[in-house]
Amino acid sequence: MREDNRPDPDALAAALTTEGRASLRIFLGAAPGVGKTWEMLAAGRQRAREGVDVLIGVVETHGRAETEAQIGDLPILPPKLMPYRDQALAEFDLEGAIARRPALILIDELAHTNAPGSRHAKRWEDVAELLEAGIPVWATLNVQHLESLNDDVARITGVRVTETLPDQVLELAGEIELIDITPAELRKRLTEGRIYRPETARRALNAFFREGNLTALREIALRRVAQHVDADVRGYMRLNAIKGPWPASERILALIGADASAEAVVRRAKQLADALHAPWIALHVERPKDGLSGLLKSQGPKALAATLGAEVETQAGRDVVSIALEIAARRNVTQIVIGAARPRRFRHLARRFWARATLAEQLLRQGSDVNLLVVPSTAERSPRRFWPRLPRAPLPWIAGIGVIALVVGIGELSQPWLNHEALGMVFLAAVMAVAAFYGLAIGLFAAALGFLSWNFFFLPPLYQLTINDPRDVVALVVFGIVASSTGLLAGRVRAEALAAQGRIEGLRRIGLFSRRLGEPATEDELMVEIAQQAAALAPEAAVLTDTPAGLTVRALRPEGSPALDESSLAAARWTLARQEEAGSGTATLPSAPWRFLPIRTSRGTVGVLGFRPPAAGLLSTPSLQAVLALADQAAVALERVRLAAEAARGEALSETQALRTALLNSLSHDLRTPLTGIRGSAETLRASWERLSEPTRQDLLASIEEDVGRMTRFLSNIMDLTRLEGGDITPRLTGLDLAPLIDAVCSRVPGALHMAVSVSEGLACRADRSLLEQALTNILENAVKYSPEGAGIRLLALEEKGRVIITLADEGIGIPPEDLAQVFDSFYRAKHGDRVAPGTGLGLAIARGFVQAMGGTISALSPRPDLPRDGLPGTVITISLPLAEEIDR
């Protein structure tokens, strides 16, 4: 395909990507009952007879005897039972399949939705993981389950398919086998009860399985398989550097020029693509001679092609024929559609003297493998200009005259030592400079003026427009030819430079838009930024979006600009509804003072970008191109912001759900246990008070008191957590003497009376007394809870680098390394094998919240580095708080 006959790098990269992945074969059907599962099982049994280790991962026979018989002696993977609403659902066991690692696994109903709690939400995701694990898969699928066809299938059959999968799943398949039978045969199977039970079959015959529905679904399935085969053919051609096209399938290429026939070409290519059921491409080649006006004229046809479903491509270059044929060969195009303007008068006479081939003739001569369709233009072609367009501004003309006058002055001053032949070269340089700066028209004007000036001022006889010497005749002719050619070439170079500069400026603006529109985090901020960027290109700009209240102006710049009038709003509504430009400078509602562009995302048109052209008329071509690019970038940025907002809402909802579940679990455990103890103790006391001894009664009463205290601490923790998350805690920081505060904490926690305490004398920190006392109490209770009875607990408080460091070290069971990062999270409790201490998982979370609210930090370390390795690892909790210079009384 390429000139050096080397494989396409993209095709090689794609081949390398799929090389390490196992193969997927999809048995595709147009409707249920065509025999997909039967065919898959039959082919699987054949592979098993060949010695291949075939395993049935999941099969749905729906009670069909023929399908069940095809299972034969093929082994079936036991299903995984998933509990759901008081029942157990049998699902595909992905973990078991990966552990079993068969040479081939058969998976039925690829679009199936897995039960909640499964590893993946969809069965096709299970298949994707199997492929990544190197296990080949055969699977079945009905075409109506493809996501892109959901609306079409609903319109055809009247049934909305709820279980769908992305179309990209088909791209994972190395093979797609179409299982096809005629609608009449399928309906016959249904009538005979070979698909559904008789009562269900009768209803289905008059609903989903109508003959017209089945015919339409069959056509869709055939097209999908044909598209997959076509992609395989093109991939093979690219991988093996085979020059196309191969006439295996039809593909249309429409050449869009900057002339009146462009829209007719687009419409005719669309009609041809629909008739052949073929994809089509719209190509526009930016030629330097077309200039910026050509770019502007091509915008409308390109937008029309995109609206009609074409793949629009733009390339820059001079040779339209070679570019078109290169794309045709690379994309396997079989039909090229071009436009032809109405023939000019006397053209047949001109061709006798100037035998220049037309675009159609060049394509036919060089592209013998493609068909060519020439679309005549119905528009009257403007007469050909033999002279370049003359500038209207006076400055270029004044500059041309000034430069020639300057050369004349230089020649007059240097005439004694510079002959007139050498001076002619100076005139040529001046002509080239003028043409390079001001274009071809001014260059030709300067050439003519320089010719006359050289003859009048420097060729004898001087100051007369006469020529006496034959050599001067030759010099003048050569000067005229060279000056005109130089001006022509310089003008063309200038046009190409301006076109390149315009493209570079466009790329710069696109980069600027991407950077500026990537900064806003909210949709409102983004709307303001879009309007701000558009206002830098036009006097006024606005962004409007569709809301429940109708089309609403979300941003208007500059601030204080007058509101949009009714005609402008009508144009904006048209743009939103039709996805077409409207307003000033367009064919739709041109009387409106504003012009509107659609903001299209993958979800459709979500808004419009409007701008008011300057009072002098339309925007310049570069500015208009920049606004068009801004609309595209705005769509991407808006999609990003909305997806980010949806992701944030989903994450918040997930966190809220997790918190709610943890809270309910904690309530069910930490309230039910003490309530059960209280109830049992109270019932025992009420029923057997007289028979119980005094020590027993006291023990039961103490148990009730302990359980009530446990419930009180739990509810207090819940209230503290609610206050923390609601931001209702405002610490009152004072200078606190740590020694009496730590003594009070030790007295509140049972089991901590004999712990080792070391506090520097007079040590004070800036903290809230109640918050710090509660935080230390929670930490100490946690240490006592997770330490064996009699284990040592040490509390140390000292000053270090202007901070107060409080360290509490225990000799308990410690914290696993993987839990250290989460040990301060709400409702999180580290697990140690089968042992989980009772509690809510809120104590350390509340301690962290209180400490951070006071401007401190808290951290955990486990195992303790000072304990022997053959014992329990222990844990160290460290709190750092600001040092207080003095104690507040």
Residues 117 and 225 in one domain: yes
Spatial distance between the Cα atoms of 412 and 427, rounded to a whole number of angstroms? 13
> At 326, which CATH number?
3.40.50.620
Report the CATH number that the domain containing residue 874 is assigned in CATH. Answer: 3.30.565.10
| Structural domain that includes position 839 | 729-882
pLDDT at 52 over 80: yes
Mean pLDDT of the region 296-306? 71
- Range of weakest confidence among 84-93, 446-455, 471-480, 726-735: 471-480
pLDDT for position 174? 81
pLDDT of residue 106: 93
pLDDT of residue 651: 73
Query: Averaged over 546-565, what is the pLDDT?
Result: 85
pLDDT value of position 140: 92
Higher pLDDT, 364 or 490: 364
Q: Which residues of 666-694 are buried (b: 16+ CB within 10 A; e: fewer)?
A: beeebeeebeebbeebeeeeeeeeeeeee
Residue 617 lies in a domain: yes
733 in the same domain as 714: no
Using the predicted structure, report yes or no on whether residue 889 has a pLDDT greater than 50: yes
Average pLDDT over residues 90-117: 90
pTM over 0.85: no
Is pLDDT above 60 for 611? yes
Q: 741-746: which pairs have CB atoms within 8 A and are 24 or more residues apart?
A: 741/769, 741/772, 741/773, 741/776, 742/776, 742/795, 742/797, 744/773, 745/773, 745/776, 745/777, 745/780, 746/780, 746/795
Write out pLDDT tens, residues 817-863: 777 777 777 666 555 444 445 555 667 777 888 888 888 998 888 88
Strands 24-29 and 137-142: parallel
Q: Would you state the structure tokens that stand for residue 649, as one six-digit string?
A: 């809402």
Choose among 185, 233, 190, 235: nearest CA to 208. Answer: 190
126 and 204, same domain (yes or no) = yes
**Residues making up the chain, counted from first to last:** 889
Q: How many other C-beta atoms are found inside a 10 Å radius of the C-beta of residue 110?
A: 25
Which of 239, 267, 292 lies at the terminal end of a domain, its last residue? 239
Largest CA distance in the chain: 152
118, 213: one domain: yes
- Beta strand 175-179 with 24-29 is parallel
Are residue 734 and residue 869 in the same domain, yes or no?
yes
Please indicate, yes or no, whether residues 19 and 122 belong to a single structural domain of this protein: yes
**Does residue 53 carry a pLDDT above 90?**
yes
Q: Could you say which of 210, 239, 268 is where a domain stops? A: 239
Q: Is the pLDDT of residue 7 over 90?
A: no
- Say what percent of the chain tops pLDDT 70: 75
Tell whether 382 is covered by a domain: no
DSSP 738-780: HHHHHHHHHHHSTT-TT-EEEE-TT-EEEE-HHHHHHHHHHHH
Res. 488: pLDDT tops 70: no
Q: For residue 292, report the phi and psi dihedrals to the nearest 5 degrees.
A: -70, -30
Q: How far apart are CA 171 and CA 176, in angstroms?
A: 10
**Residue 4 pLDDT grade (very low, low, confident, very high; cuts 50, 70, 90):** very low
The arithmetic mean of pLDDT across residues 215-234, rounded, is: 74
* Residue 577 falls inside a structural domain: yes
Q: Which amino acid is at 291?
A: G
Q: Do 437 and 304 sit in the same domain of this protein?
A: no
Q: Looking at the domain assignment, is residue 736 inside a domain?
A: yes
Same domain, 681 and 765: no
Give dist(CA 819, CA 640) in Å, integer: 34
Rounded to the nearest angstrom, the gap between the alpha carbon of residue 360 and the centroid of all alpha carbons in its chain is 41
Q: Give tens-digit pLDDT for 378-428.
A: 555 545 554 556 666 788 888 888 888 888 888 888 877 777 677 777 877
Q: CB-side exposure of 502: number of CA atoms within 13 Å?
A: 25
Answer yes or no: do 422 and 565 share one domain. Answer: no
Task: Give 551 or 345, the one with higher predicted confidence.
Answer: 551
pLDDT tens for 514-524 read 777 777 778 88
The CA-atom distances, in angstroms, between 101 and each of 47, 98, 135, 169, 889 are 16, 5, 7, 22, 74
What residues have CB less than 8 Å from 13, skipping those under 6 apart?
Answer: none
* pLDDT at site 269: 87
Q: Residue 54 — pLDDT band, cuts 50, 70, 90?
A: very high
Tokens of 859: 């951290």
Q: Using an 8 Å Cβ cutoff, are 815 and 828 in contact?
A: no
Res 138: pLDDT: 93
| Four-residue CA torsion sign, 455, 460, 465, 471 | negative
Q: State residue 467's pLDDT score.
A: 65
Rg (C-alpha) for the chain, rounded Å, is 42
Q: Is the pLDDT of residue 334 over 60?
A: yes
Would you state the pLDDT for residue 2? 42
Confidence check: pLDDT of 662 > 70: no
Residues 184 and 51 in one domain: yes
Q: Name the more confident of 342 and 407.
A: 407
Average pLDDT, the chain: 77
End-to-end alpha carbon distance in the chain: 89
CB-CB contact of 50 with 238 (8 Å): no
Helices (H), 359-461: 359-366, 394-413, 420-438, 440-458
Per-residue pLDDT, averaged over 71-77, amounts to 89
Q: Which segment of 244-248, 313-317, 396-400, 490-494 scores lowest on mean pLDDT?
A: 244-248
d(CA 186, CA 165): 25
Identify whether residues 70 and 114 lie together within a single domain. yes
pLDDT over threshold 60, residue 349: no
605-617 burial, b for 16+ CB within 10 Å, e for fewer?
bbbbbbbbbeeee
Domain count, the chain: 6
Q: Is residue 387 part of a domain?
A: no
> 388 lies in a domain?
no
Which comes out higher in pLDDT, residue 624 or 183?
Answer: 183
pLDDT for the residue numbered 411: 83
Residue 736 and residue 870 share a domain: yes
Cβ atoms within 10 Å of 245's Cβ, excluding its own? 25
**pLDDT tens-digit map of 754-805:** 678 888 888 889 888 888 888 888 888 888 888 887 778 888 888 888 899 9
Q: What is the pLDDT of residue 289?
A: 65
